[in-house]
Chain A
Amino acid sequence: MGALAQNRQAGVRGLKLEVVIAGVGGQGLITLADLIAKSARRAGNDVVVAETHGLSQRGGSVVVYVRINGSAPLVSEGRGDLMLAMELIEAVRYSKFLKPGARVVANDYLVPPPLPGLEPPKREELVEFLNKNFSLELVDATKRALDMGDVRVANVILLGRALKVGAFDGFFSAEDVEEVIREAWGPGRNLEALRAA
């Protein structure tokens, strides 16, 4: 069976994948969800993405839900199979949407909320919580993106790592994502970022 045919099996079998994408407004979460949606669709799945717009974009806490082969738009608490997190505080905040033991692919990056006088939680505590309760994969996506000269590609680096650890196996492949990226932006930095993970 070819890769595409294999991918399409998930939809035929009615398998669902419930993904929670968390981070801070401005980190490219909606673009990340769009890439996942288009890739999943390309491989023959149904997909619904529920986004956060408006007020929450101004540096606020953002969560986006992607449900592959589901029909309703939102992930209920305790149901998520997978989280992609661009920031650690937000990863912990929205972890209530995950099944215990779910896979968490998180950017190793902490943005303290800009509230005067606030003592932000320590990175180590957040990582420890995620490690204890979930299957955690940490990625230094922001650092690598800065090294590549464009902080905006951190989201694609995170997606690349999720693909590498098999988070979307049975639903879509890295080739699907590459094709979607090529269609959207042509070859270039985003494709590089996807492979750099």
Chain B
Amino acid sequence: MPRYREVVREPGEAVMLGNAAIARGFLEAGLQFAASYPGTPSTEITEALAYAYKTLGWPVVQWSVNEKVALESALGAAIAGLRSFAGMKHVGLNVASDPFFSSAYLGVEGALVVVSADDPWMWSSQNEQDNRWYGVHAYVFTVEPKGVQDAKEAACHALEWSAMLKRPVLLRITTRIAHSRTSFKLGPLKRIPIEGRFEKNPQRWTLIPEFARRHRLELLRYWEELKAKAHQFPLNVVEGEGDVAVLASGIGYRYAKEALEELGLEAKVFGLSTPVPLPDKFAEELSQFEKVVVVEEGEPVVELQLRAALQELGSKAKVFGKTDGSVRLYGELDLEDVKELLAKVFGVEYGRPKALEPPKMPPRPPVLCPGCPYRSYFYALKRAVNRLRVEPVYSGDIGCYSLGINKPFEVQDIIIDMGASIGAGIGLSKALKDRVVISIIGDSTFFHSGMTALADAVYNRAPLLVIVLDNFTTAMTGHQPHPGIGVDAAMRPAPRIEIESVVRGLGVEKVVTVDAFNILESQRGTEEALRYVLENKKPAVVIARGACALVALAQARKRKVEVPKYYVDESKCTACGICYTAFNCPAILKREDGKAWIDPALCVGCAQCEQICPFGAFVPEKRVKEWERLLRTARPG
């Protein structure tokens, strides 16, 4: 089933993923230009737009090298009059925060919507920052859909309002909006031809101090005007009557409404889709109540603005929210939590449903897939390190290889942010006199922010071994292309930037490329580079190359290439356990008698196990040359 078919469908009704609905909303509002860096839970918006480009021929869609470049690209297009969007996960906006602040000062000619996909409780992230703070911090009008149900309309109106205000708009979504599915009413698509224009006007478009000061004053004026009219945003609703007011922002609206309905309570509900700035009109109305409950996902962004406004207005209203401990300050909202809070505020009895305490189950962390070239490379890396008798500190990074944190490999000692494997590796290598530091970074992350850090490592003579794991894709987020692959967002041929050339161009003198599926070659190449670092006290780079097995399998299905299975020759297996302990492929299981067994439903015939078994017990049904080639070359597209 094509994943994004509904995004380009004729008007009507369709069940869609929230992110796909956001893409549709943009297309209904005449989006012309999109630039993003993939990151869970934001990725599908841009994938859906790329699908639209492939089927409709518009809008322009780009995967950028990182979020900063994505936002700058979208801002540039918006300065030239286009309706633009830049998409990223919440921590991506940290990377893009510099142009984000400047965009607020400059404004736009067309429209600019920045989507930040926040991830409360960190399902796929390193923190749970609430990016509505960026709206407060940078003076950027911030919109959040009232649940997935509003996702499409919120995107549509955000782009329209940006065009009307000639200012950037931050569209803040969370995991349960991005990755929830519901039915949407689809309106007509609006195609606006690209006719960018630019008139020289340095006072308007350059932020040198003289002009920036004027922009600053204009921005403050704009902000006050916005507070006076933000209540008119079409998705803001005020419903019901009662002595208690509920100010429910974004997805909090769904929880508040359902909780009130289940408890049979009446309240005046302010369903807020514009958390930043808090509209004056709502603050004034809320100041008349004795009790106000604030329900919002994330941090008390709306609540603190409300408390400030209530104090200014001399209101006696008691506010229940996150700063007074009425609602948890971490994690996602929960319907039963909201019901308990409302029952307490209304003074009614409520007992939450009793849940069973199931027996404790073993954890099931995500693992490297069967056939992942990172597994064979990590195995080779451990052997190289053992042979040279060093005990490295592994400076980790963000991508599938983060899974190397687990046993048996344990090759991610620190994980900070995108690109930090090299940046932090520089400091570690200078601090640790008797330990060698190994930075492990993926191909997409290398282009994102590894390149600049590597230049620094060369310049500052950091004795660092950098391993670039190149699987020709941004794998963790679902196989988006990047500059090292040779295809663009629409999977058309594009210039390919060779990682070796980049690394050499940055001044690295020792560069070794290995086939990640070949364990002996990987081990020898890594030893050679590691020895160079130890002897020369300078950085060296290993590029370990092998296709993502999931991409290779998809290509094999498409091209009708047979994927052979391996099986265990029981007469040779000695039950030594190397394969299911030190190598740990999910397709290799331990039998009752300690011998190995391969689950044919999981095996992808990658031939790695054949190289690690000392007794030759792993045997392929057959050898398929074309499959071996795909494992080393397959790219998305």
Residues of A in contact with B (beta carbons under 8 Å apart): 24-25, 31, 33-34, 37-38, 41, 46-61, 70-74, 76-79, 89-90, 92-93, 95-100, 112-118, 120-121, 125, 129, 133, 146, 151, 184-185
Contact-residue bracket for chain B: 35 or more
Residues of B in contact with A (beta carbons under 8 Å apart): 1, 15, 17, 40-41, 123-124, 147-149, 176, 179-183, 251, 254-255, 257-258, 332-337, 352-359, 361-369, 400, 403, 406-408, 476-478, 580-582, 584-586, 589, 601
Partner of B352 from A78, A93, A184 at Cβ < 8 Å? A78
Chain A residues with Cβ below 8 Å from B582 are: 116
| A44-B40 Cα distance, complex, nearest whole Å | 32
**Closest B-chain residue to A33, C-beta based?**
B181
Partner of A49 from B180, B358, B408 at Cβ < 8 Å? B180
Q: Is the CB of B356 within 8 A of A96?
A: yes
Which A-B residue pairs are the 7 nearest by beta carbons?
A78-B355, A54-B40, A60-B366, A78-B353, A54-B124, A58-B366, A77-B355
Chain B residues with Cβ below 8 Å from A184 are: 1
Q: Is the CB of B369 within 8 A of A121?
A: no
Partner of A71 from B258, B355, B361 at Cβ < 8 Å? B258
Chain A residues with Cβ below 8 Å from B337 are: 76
**Closest A-chain residue to B177, C-beta based?**
A73
Q: Is the CB of B366 within 8 A of A49?
A: no
Chain B residues with Cβ below 8 Å from A46 are: 182-183
| A179-B124 Cα distance, complex, nearest whole Å | 35
Chain B residues with Cβ below 8 Å from A120 are: 362
Query: Interface majority SS on B: helix, strand, loop or mixed?
Result: loop
Number of A-B contacts (CB under 8 A): 170
A-B contact pairs, 18 of them (CB 8 A): A31-B1, A37-B15, A54-B40, A54-B123, A58-B369, A59-B364, A60-B364, A72-B335, A73-B147, A73-B148, A74-B332, A77-B355, A78-B336, A78-B355, A115-B362, A115-B407, A116-B408, A133-B356
**Shortest distance in angstroms between A97's beta carbon and chain B's nearest beta carbon?**
7
Partner of A100 from B334, B356, B362, B368 at Cβ < 8 Å? B356
| A125-B181 Cα distance, complex, nearest whole Å | 35
Q: Is the CB of A55 within 8 A of B366?
A: yes
| A113-B354 Cα distance, complex, nearest whole Å | 29
Query: Interface majority SS on A: helix, strand, loop or mixed?
Result: mixed
Q: Is the CB of B581 within 8 A of A58?
A: no
**Closest B-chain residue to A59, C-beta based?**
B367
Partner of B362 from A37, A113, A116 at Cβ < 8 Å? A113
Chain A residues with Cβ below 8 Å from B40 are: 53-55
Partner of A34 from B15, B359, B368 at Cβ < 8 Å? B15
Chain B residues with Cβ below 8 Å from A78 are: 336, 352-356
**Shortest distance in angstroms between A161's beta carbon and chain B's nearest beta carbon?**
20
Chain B residues with Cβ below 8 Å from A79 are: 335-336, 353
**Shortest distance in angstroms between B586's beta carbon and chain A's nearest beta carbon?**
4
| A56-B40 Cα distance, complex, nearest whole Å | 11
Q: Is the CB of B601 within 8 A of A151?
A: yes
Q: A72-B255, A99-B353, A112-B589 are in contact. Are A60 and B181 (CB under 8 A)?
A: no
Q: Is the CB of B41 within 8 A of A54?
A: yes
**Shortest distance in angstroms between B474's beta carbon and chain A's nearest beta carbon?**
12
Q: Is the CB of B364 within 8 A of A76?
A: no
**Closest B-chain residue to A125, C-beta based?**
B359
Q: Is the CB of A73 within 8 A of B366?
A: no
| A173-B580 Cα distance, complex, nearest whole Å | 45
Partner of A73 from B17, B254, B354 at Cβ < 8 Å? B254
| A98-B354 Cα distance, complex, nearest whole Å | 9
Q: Is the CB of A96 within 8 A of B257?
A: no
| A185-B362 Cα distance, complex, nearest whole Å | 36
Partner of A146 from B1, B148, B408, B601 at Cβ < 8 Å? B601
| A14-B64 Cα distance, complex, nearest whole Å | 46
| A53-B179 Cα distance, complex, nearest whole Å | 7
| A37-B18 Cα distance, complex, nearest whole Å | 13
Chain B residues with Cβ below 8 Å from A112 are: 589
Q: Is the CB of B358 within 8 A of A129?
A: yes
**Shortest distance in angstroms between B42's beta carbon and chain A's nearest beta carbon?**
10
**Shortest distance in angstroms between A193's beta carbon and chain B's nearest beta carbon?**
15
| A121-B41 Cα distance, complex, nearest whole Å | 33
Most chain A beta-carbon neighbours within 10 Å: one of B149, B257, B361, B584: B361
**Shortest distance in angstroms between B330's beta carbon and chain A's nearest beta carbon?**
15
Q: Is the CB of A50 within 8 A of B580?
A: no
Chain B residues with Cβ below 8 Å from A76 are: 334-337, 352-353
Q: Is the CB of B358 within 8 A of A72?
A: no
| A89-B585 Cα distance, complex, nearest whole Å | 20
Chain A residues with Cβ below 8 Å from B586 are: 59, 114
| A57-B43 Cα distance, complex, nearest whole Å | 15
Chain B residues with Cβ below 8 Å from A61 are: 363-364
**Closest B-chain residue to A114, C-beta based?**
B586
Q: A71-B258, A99-B353, A121-B362 are in contact. Are A116 and B581 (CB under 8 A)?
A: yes
Chain A residues with Cβ below 8 Å from B352 are: 76, 78
**Closest B-chain residue to A25, C-beta based?**
B366
Q: Is the CB of A74 within 8 A of B363?
A: no
| A53-B479 Cα distance, complex, nearest whole Å | 13
**Closest A-chain residue to B124, C-beta based?**
A54
Partner of B584 from A98, A116, A146 at Cβ < 8 Å? A116
Partner of A97 from B254, B355, B585 at Cβ < 8 Å? B355
Q: Is the CB of A49 within 8 A of B181?
A: yes
| A2-B183 Cα distance, complex, nearest whole Å | 24
**Shortest distance in angstroms between A15's beta carbon and chain B's nearest beta carbon?**
13
| A193-B17 Cα distance, complex, nearest whole Å | 25
